[in-house]
Structure 1
Amino acid sequence: MANIELWGGVECTVNRVGDQYFDQLAQSGHAQRLTDLDLFAELGIKKLRYPVLWESVAPEHPEQQDWSWATERLNRLRELNIEPIVGLLHHGSGPRYTNLLDDDFPQKFAQYARSVARQFPWVTYYTPVNEPLTTARFSALYGFWYPHTKDDASFAKALLNQINGTRLAMQAIREINPNAQLVQTDDLGYSHSTPTLQYQADFENHRRWLSWDLLCGKVDRQHPLWDYLRGAQVPEETLLEMVQHPCPPNIIGVNYYVTSERYLDERIIDYPWHTHGSNAIQWYADVEAVRVQTATPLGVQNILEQACARYDIPVAITEAHLCCTREEQMRWLADVWDSASFSRKQGKNVLAVTAWSLLGAYDWNSLLTQQNNHYEMGAFDLRNGTEPARTAVSRFIQGLPLDAERHPLLKIDGWWKRVCRAVYPSLPESPESWSISPKGFQQLKDANIQPLLITGATGTLGKAFARICEIRGIPYVLLSRQDMDIANAASVEKTIRQYKPWALINAAGYVRVDDAEQEPEACYRENTLGPMVLAQVCQAQNIGFVSFSSDLVFDGGKQTPYLEEDPTNPVNVYGTSKALAEEQVLGVMPGALVIRTSAFFGPWDEHNFVYHALRSIAHQETFLAAEDSYITPTYVPDLVNSVLDLLIDQESGIWHLTNQGTYSWAKFAELAGNLAGLETTPWLQPVPLASFNLPAPRPSSSALQTGKRALLPTVEDALRRYLHTAEFSFRPENNSDDELQFAAQA
């Protein structure tokens, strides 16, 4: 039996909320980039789920059709030997002259489908309506999307209109191309529950099949949902006509996400309010099954086997995507691919896995009800604002059908299989740890799992890397100066031989900018010699390497933020040590990743400007801050997560990583105080930088900006998250002068 195929897909929803249409192709920029298709072809995909959407081709009138965009792109796919699976309606309600509850919706939709087939008679594969059941639920049962109804009758009508529209569309298409194939997609999960809510779970587990059951003519008087549909005002003759004249899919398209399996629990006090709902009989929480300690999700392999057994029709995974970190995205795709491959080897008729979405997606965190430009990365990263950038995920996808060697981090289970997955009911801190003790290291060694080495065990950055590696399931060893002398080649080589890491992050260094003027030898040893030695050893051992530089490599003469390619010209010893390190590290290891950053603040320690500013202002103590020295602040969790992503992506060279926004130190303190709800006047006092009489000269502006990917959120966004998650409170009780209260934040 042949191996499964690799397919691809582009998130292309055009959904309507009120009178506003949300267009994913416009947000991603794919609407203007024909060259994206060449990038997709490089992945080796065989088929591409691709839009020729009704709302886009004929938005104002059914006879006013513009085929120019679709023609150019479908022709290019033919040239690239990629077979399109053409979608006509993707989570949409149609153009303004119809909607999901329009009695004439099926006929209007079929008329459009006929036009598509006439325009592209060579197209074989179609998904006329993507996820009709999910769209009907979101639009007509939950009211999220147009036409915003919330009742069973509207839901049933919206679903039947889409199914009848699909049947009539395929009939019209096959009159032009008799070989046309129907690839019918829908989200396929499973509902778990407490014993009390088993009846609701049973209903939902029958309902999850409805799109395919209706098309296959399975919804007769013996079907478990016959009475429900009749009670929802679906005429009996409508259902029986589908039984008599089925339109079974040629391929069942299963869309499966980590959130597809649900858990229902009447004990709503144990769950956040936003998970609460009602079925008109009782209230209950509806949450992701993977997040419930007592739930055991079926997983994609069991879901696939259920679909194969129910229909005896070829099955493909038509969406597989996870909004998460690089390694977790790859772990999810690996899990899906391996499960599908295993099922096929067991004789199940599983055809393919679809990498979805190749360009990522926007605003699904609000279920496309708000346009906040919240981006989830796909196989390619769009955050450079120009062209999609390849990542570890795209390289991994390309290697799947080739059975290529996988990243060492993929030997670790994804978070949905680890202890940390469960958050309901509330649990004490997870005992899971990826810090490697001697015993733990031996276990990883036996499993042939390589760790990440991190220097700087006592510093803010080293500790932050360790903390976030714990969260992300990245095994690591955190090294102190006693464990390894970074400026001693023998010490470094010994440590590398001992741990055999896949990469090393140098978070150590001399950080006392003013003391460096009196201690240049110590500064150069830690900041210049050390990184160069590490780079030499990493180059020789063929392992990844990250080192950190600084905004202080610049002299402040530029009126706008510095980009990566701007020439360095440091004005103090510390900056000089970093500039020399950049040159020497990249000289001995061109593949090294060098991160310039500045003005750290983070939620896990008090050693930062923001903490001291807020503490003084909260205590109504004078706080002096420079009004004529400009920086781009950096939120440590954002920095660490981005560095890990870039390291896994195998990026190299110099990168500027700071949060977006240039501030004087005084304005930065003012913004933090305002967001914290503190009265900054008169306690915050802007003063000239010269008044501090600092031993080391500083540039008047060392603001950084990236010419690569705009990776980090705004400073204001970062400050809001900092204030929400900081492990201490800045406000003294009753506005007294007592010591600050330290309190864990919710």
Structure 2
Amino acid sequence: MTRAIAIPALEVWAGVECTVNRVGDQYFDQLERNGHAERLDDLDRFAQLGIRAIRYPILWERTAPNERNQIDWTWADERLGRLRELGIRPIVGLVHHGSGPRHTSLIDPAFPEKLAEFAQAVAERYPWVDSYTPVNEPLTTARFSGLYGYWYPHGRDGLTFARALLIQCRAIVLAMQAIRQVNPTAQLVQTEDLGKTYSTPLLAYQAAFENERRWLSFDLLCGRLNASSALWSYLTYLGIEEAELKWFEEHPCPPNLLGINHYLTSERFLDERLDRYPVESHGENGKHRYADIEAVRVCAEGTVGSRTLLKETWERYKLPLAVTEVHLGCTREEQLRWLKEVWDGAVSARREGVDVRAVTAWSLLGAYDWNSLVTRAEGYYESGAFDLRSPYPRPTALARMVKDLATQQESDHPVLDTLGWWHRPERLLYPSVSCPNDFGRQTKTKSQSARLLAIIGARGTLGKAFARLCDLRGIAYRLLTRGEMDITNAASVDAALDELQPWAVVNAAGYVRVDDAEREPDLCLRVNAEGPAILAESCARRGVGLLTFSSDLVFDGSGTSPYVESHAVAPLNVYGRSKALAEARVLKAYPASLAIRTSAFFGPWDEYNFVAIALRQLGAGGRFVAAEDAVVSPTYVPDLVNASLDLLMDGECGLWHLANSGAIAWAELARLVAVRAGFDASRIEACSTQELGLAAVRPTYSVLGSERGVLLPCLDRAISRYFDERQQV
């Protein structure tokens, strides 16, 4: 009688984006950018997620940046020691998209021996470490550094690419040999960004070449590349000596685990019909000119996904696998959908006999400037399981999913009822083409009964904006009129919630006529304070999330620096009092509610905000009058709505301030948009607030800051996007 062998559960690993790439003479260090270089307690945050292992950087450039015998172990000692205390197994990386210290490079023949020397020093210092990735993604790094010229040494030819690839792979072999002299059982976890290429019939030969080339680093390490291979001929044609290739046959170093890094942009489509695609996608191979475009934007069948790539890799190598990077720079629900889809793909592949060991939540702390492939330092930030735009790394909904998968092997959120954008029709930016695949694709179907987000305020600017952006983000919702839910009527609220059973409610309704409120205080208080309190009580009884909005007018303007969430309120007018009362009553009735204060919002989809009115009057040849003594922090509605939805999904509660960073007087704002629109700014008439004759007293300074997190970009960028968006409406 044979006993069944228990298959270990699929593990959740993690990683921090740790690239130290070189562009010219400048190094771009993600660990400095994300602050992990200075925060030891990040490791405790990671441990709370329940992860079993972490891809962790002890990078050559950072640890031994100068002479080879000058190594500073301080940082590595502290971090690896803490990981050991926490019971998290480090998979140590030595080079991550880097080219080494300044005394070497990816085309330095001595690079392999130099890295091996460093690797041995690491192994001797930490003999208990049992897993290494000496060089991350050598093929991808060789392409970016030797073929496309993005990173140092900025090569743009086949030979530089080939040399960079072979030197990195040789460095991996020598590094593992050196490590195993210290720890004979040390494991090689070799990563590579593994995509797939499709094409028109004319370019099938190029697609076939790229689909074979994607295996090069694995083939070299496994000793599989031989003289009968087309890529052997390709490499020797470029100028690589046969002896250099035979060396890998003679010194095989098959990985103990193949790590697949897969991104939505990893799959490509090649098309000779250049007129269909933007100029920046055009290139050539010496025989044909063609566009190289993201397959997800053109292939009718969509991408093959992680399951198919895992199966292809397993069939080729029969070696244990892991998905070693899962990250998507997008809105929160899409990040959740992507991680869950890759996880489900790995589970499915395991059921089909593929030996998949783990899925890695990459970029726990997010990433900087990967929109430019880290060739510029512009501060473009993508959050991850933690959001760094707060005073401390703030866990997001993604952190909760990672923990759920790590501890329960399951995770759920209402937004998962809808497919990710890469499955929806709007993904197709170009005429669609068929991209068949031998391994097939995992069928994805949309839930027939997606759980709803209830949005109150069907006639208002904010309610309509929420509906528009929920459509764009694939968040199922119901936009409610007052007839469908009257928040001042408890019975109406209860009936609507019982019928819809939403997972959360957004209260975007309210009395917004600040001056009329002075004449109608009872109505304003009933709509703005009593209504939200009734709604909060009803949501609390059902455990339904609640997002409601407040205003900068809860402050009296006596301050001279931006107001933060903990500042005492002291409203000057009825409208401000109604909002301050609403905050207090909502958070008392339902402390899990999220109350967002915002200020002077403007957006591209309505014509009744300050900016739109100013442009309309100036466009008609008139003059525009605005106060020059009232300073505010204007808020771009799309930014406000997107950040609010993310916070709602993150489970944030209490008071939050959301406004585009920047302080500006109303008159100056009018001048700024006038100049951007090409109007004569001299037609802006500046006056005092008192001269406007407003019924409600306004604070002279109501700029919003935040002690919880600055999530919105600066005002200047918001205004630029406002004009771009208006052209598309």
TM beyond 0.5: yes
Letter aligned with residue 551 of structure 1? D
- Within 2, Cα distance between the matches of 1:45 and 1:74? 15
- Within 2, Cα distance between the matches of 1:59 and 1:479? 60
Most deviating of 394-403 and 368-377: 394-403
Counterpart for residue 700 of structure 1: 700
Would you say the 8 A contact 1:87–1:128 is kept in 2?
yes
> Is 1:202 aligned to 2:202, yes or no?
no
- Within 1, Cα distance between the matches of 2:646 and 2:71? 43
1:106 CA drift (Å) = 1.0
Letter aligned with residue 227 of structure 1? S
> Is 1:631 aligned to 2:632, yes or no?
yes
Would you say the 8 A contact 2:302–2:422 is kept in 1?
no
Question: Residue deviations 1:621-665, cap 9 Å, x none?
Answer: 211110000110000000000110000011100111100001100
Counterpart for residue 579 of structure 2: 578
Counterpart for residue 245 of structure 1: 251
> Is 1:254 aligned to 2:255, yes or no?
no
Letter aligned with residue 527 of structure 1? N
1:293 CA drift (Å) = 4.5
Question: Residue deviations 1:370-405, cap 9 Å, x none?
Answer: 001111101100001x32111111011100131344
Letter aligned with residue 387 of structure 1? Y
Counterpart for residue 655 of structure 1: 656
Letter aligned with residue 711 of structure 2? L
Q: Which aligned pairs between 1:259-658 and structure 2 lie closer than 5 A?
A: 259-384=265-390, 386-401=391-406, 402-425=408-431, 447-658=448-659
Letter aligned with residue 520 of structure 1? P
Would you say the 8 A contact 2:299–2:432 is kept in 1?
no
Would you say the 8 A contact 1:271–1:425 is kept in 2?
no
Would you say the 8 A contact 2:635–2:659 is kept in 1?
yes
- Within 1, Cα distance between the matches of 2:300 and 2:210? 20
- Within 2, Cα distance between the matches of 1:622 and 1:673? 11
- Within 1, Cα distance between the matches of 2:410 and 2:113? 48
1:675 CA drift (Å) = 2.9
Question: Residue deviations 1:229-259, cap 9 Å, x none?
Answer: 0011111011112112211100000001111
Question: Residue deviations 1:291-317, cap 9 Å, x none?
Answer: 114354211100000011110110000
Would you say the 8 A contact 1:139–1:146 is kept in 2?
yes
- Within 2, Cα distance between the matches of 1:96 and 1:252? 30
- Within 2, Cα distance between the matches of 1:88 and 1:58? 11
Counterpart for residue 672 of structure 1: 673
1:123 CA drift (Å) = 0.9
- Within 2, Cα distance between the matches of 1:228 and 1:426? 32
1:221 CA drift (Å) = 1.0
Letter aligned with residue 617 of structure 2? S
1:8 CA drift (Å) = 0.5
Counterpart for residue 233 of structure 1: 239
1:448 CA drift (Å) = 4.4
- Within 1, Cα distance between the matches of 2:109 and 2:119? 17
Query: Which of 25, 46, 65 is the aligned partner of 1:19?
Result: 25
Counterpart for residue 129 of structure 2: 123
Give runs of ≥4 in structure 1 deviating > 6 Å.
none
Query: Secondary structure in 1 aligned to 2:655?
Result: strand
Query: Secondary structure in 2 aligned to 1:400?
Result: helix
1:364 CA drift (Å) = 0.1
- Within 2, Cα distance between the matches of 1:153 and 1:29? 37
Would you say the 8 A contact 2:298–2:432 is kept in 1?
no
- Within 2, Cα distance between the matches of 1:322 and 1:297? 15
- Within 1, Cα distance between the matches of 2:432 and 2:240? 43
> Is 1:178 aligned to 2:184, yes or no?
yes
Would you say the 8 A contact 1:293–1:424 is kept in 2?
no
- Within 1, Cα distance between the matches of 2:342 and 2:303? 14
- Within 1, Cα distance between the matches of 2:160 and 2:410? 49
1:426 CA drift (Å) = 8.7
- Within 1, Cα distance between the matches of 2:616 and 2:695? 26
- Within 2, Cα distance between the matches of 1:719 and 1:648? 27
Letter aligned with residue 267 of structure 2? E
Counterpart for residue 687 of structure 2: 687
Most deviating of 479-488 and 610-619: 610-619
- Within 2, Cα distance between the matches of 1:503 and 1:45? 29
Counterpart for residue 50 of structure 1: 56
Counterpart for residue 733 of structure 1: none
Query: Secondary structure in 2 aligned to 1:99?
Result: coil
- Within 1, Cα distance between the matches of 2:289 and 2:619? 43
Question: Residue deviations 1:516-547, cap 9 Å, x none?
Answer: 11111211111011101110100011100011
- Within 1, Cα distance between the matches of 2:496 and 2:547? 17
> TM-score of the superposition, structure 1-length normalised?
0.94
Most deviating of 344-353 and 16-25: 344-353
1:112 CA drift (Å) = 1.2
Gaps of 5+ in 2: 1-6, 434-444
Query: Secondary structure in 2 aligned to 1:148?
Result: coil
Counterpart for residue 99 of structure 1: 105
- Within 2, Cα distance between the matches of 1:698 and 1:271? 51
Would you say the 8 A contact 2:123–2:129 is kept in 1?
yes
Would you say the 8 A contact 1:52–1:88 is kept in 2?
yes
Query: Secondary structure in 2 aligned to 1:118?
Result: helix
Counterpart for residue 720 of structure 1: 720
> Is 1:191 aligned to 2:233, yes or no?
no
Would you say the 8 A contact 1:289–1:295 is kept in 2?
no
Would you say the 8 A contact 1:3–1:341 is kept in 2?
no
1:472 CA drift (Å) = 0.6
Question: Residue deviations 1:43-79, cap 9 Å, x none?
Answer: 1111100011110111121111111101110011000
Query: Which of 85, 92, 95 is the aligned partner of 1:89?
Result: 95
Would you say the 8 A contact 2:487–2:535 is kept in 1?
yes
Query: Secondary structure in 2 aligned to 1:32?
Result: coil
Question: Residue deviations 1:9-49, cap 9 Å, x none?
Answer: 01000000000000000000000000000111111111100
Query: Secondary structure in 2 aligned to 1:66?
Result: coil
Would you say the 8 A contact 2:320–2:357 is kept in 1?
yes
Gaps of 5+ in 1: 428-442, 728-743
Question: Residue deviations 1:402-457, cap 9 Å, x none?
Answer: 13441111121111112222111299xxxxxxxxxxxxxxx99x844310000110
- Within 2, Cα distance between the matches of 1:679 and 1:75? 64
Would you say the 8 A contact 1:182–1:249 is kept in 2?
yes
Letter aligned with residue 399 of structure 2? S
Counterpart for residue 438 of structure 1: none
Letter aligned with residue 394 of structure 1? A
